[in-house]
Amino acid sequence: MNLIEQSEALDGLPPRDILKWSFEHLPNVVLTTAWQPSGIVILDLLHDLGLRPPVIFVDTLFQFQETSI
């Protein structure tokens, strides 16, 4: 796989298409998140697509009580 060519092919595609491609072509995809808005959006997109990768929580030591596990 030529990563430069693949990056150019994915450039401009909707996020759902990029996520689908990732799970079809890359082994062992995991999601890291600190439960900030961007991570929540990606989790929601993955859920809508029926994709369930392992999720690794990144503790930034700045979590609100509501997001603490």
Residue positions counted in the chain: 69
Write out pLDDT tens, residues 13-42: 999 999 999 999 998 999 999 888 899 999
Q: Strand, coil or helix: what is 53?
A: coil
Extents of the domains making up the chain: 28-69
- Going by pLDDT thresholds of 50, 70 and 90, the confidence category of residue 66 is low
In sequence order, the 6+-apart residues with CB closer than 8 A to the CB of 56 are 30, 31, 32, 33
Q: What is the pTM of this model?
A: 0.76
